[in-house]
């Protein structure tokens, strides 16, 4: 029987790596590692204890037991975005290093060739999702696009353990290969709700096998004038004195 454990995971990947020359690829590889290490230091996360798998322009990292989730979501990401802005300053547009990043917390245990469990697979689907790629593509001046899993959003951001407000994230549904679930996307410097992610709206699906992610209306979004709010309840409800419908 395998070892059970829950770990904090990070995955990053560079946009357009295959389309730049080898000199730029080398610069990007060196910058990615340096910027991740600097961000970990600023956030108080022990980089030396991280277990990382590197693939040129991508990094998958499993953080040690007890690593701070708020630290990874907030000061780490703020420093990473700041570092990217500094690195890209005075570089030609096509040589900008722009990263997609994903954060997840879930089951991951050491295995013969890395880590096994649901979480490493799920974070890979978040990172490679069409909707996260679309978010970065729709924000041409952005240096970073972040996706966090439902677990991270609900337990860390939604509970106000970070200085980042929940309203800065946009909730989406992701369906990639065998994975289907919700994620929250943030693009520093942009209103995530205004970004064109190439989807028709709630419940819409597109692409082969419905791989396109559909936008989900955030729970915190106010009801616009003229909107109708309908609550569907199945089964018998025992709630004496409760009001279930409001009409004007």
Average pLDDT, stretch 97-105?
A: 97
CB 9 within 8 A of CB 106: yes
- pLDDT for 165 equals 95
d(CA 129, CA 30): 25
Burial grade of 165 (CB within 10 A; 0-12, 13-18, 19 or more): exposed
Q: Is residue 233 over pLDDT 60?
A: no
Predicted confidence (pLDDT) at residue 246 exceeds the cutoff of 80: no
pLDDT of residue 116: 77
List pLDDT tens digits, range 20-70.
Answer: 999 999 999 999 999 999 999 999 999 999 999 998 899 999 999 999 999
pLDDT at position 56, please? 86
pLDDT at 178 (0 to 100)? 76
Residue 194 has pLDDT above 50, yes or no: yes
Residue 221 above 50 pLDDT?
no
Res 144: pLDDT: 98
Enter the pTM of the model: 0.79
Q: Average pLDDT of the chain?
A: 83
Residue 199: pLDDT band with limits 50, 70, 90? low
Q: What is the mean pLDDT of residues 79-90?
A: 97
């Amino acid at each position: 029987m395998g070892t059970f454990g829950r770990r904090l995971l990070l995955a990053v990947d560079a946009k357009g790596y295959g389309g730049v020359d080898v000199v730029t690829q080398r610069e990007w590889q060196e910058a990615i590692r340096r910027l991740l290490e600097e961000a970990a230091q600023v956030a108080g996360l022990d980089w030396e204890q991280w277990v990382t798998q590197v693939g040129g322009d991508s990094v998958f990292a499993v953080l040690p037991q007890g690593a701070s989730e708020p630290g990874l979501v907030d000061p780490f990401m703020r420093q990473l975005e700041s570092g990217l802005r500094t690195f890209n300053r005075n570089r030609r547009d096509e040589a900008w290093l722009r990263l997609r990043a994903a954060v997840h917390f879930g089951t991951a245990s050491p295995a013969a060739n890395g880590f096994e469990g649901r979480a490493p697979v799920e974070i890979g689907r978040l990172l490679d999702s069409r909707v996260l790629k679309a978010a970065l593509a729709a924000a041409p001046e952005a240096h970073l696009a972040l996706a966090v899993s439902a677990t991270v959003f609900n337990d860390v951001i939604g509970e106000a353990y970070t200085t980042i407000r929940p309203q800065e994230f946009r909730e989406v549904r992701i369906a990639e290969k065998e994975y289907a679930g919700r994620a929250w996307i943030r693009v520093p410097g942009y209103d995530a709700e205004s970004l064109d992610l190439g989807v028709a709206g709630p419940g819409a699906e597109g692409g082969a096998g419905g791989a396109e992610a559909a936008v989900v209306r955030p729970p915190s979004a106010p009801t616009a004038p003229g909107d109708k709010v309908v609550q569907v309840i199945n089964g018998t409800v025992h709630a004496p004195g409760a009001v279930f419908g409001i009409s004007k």
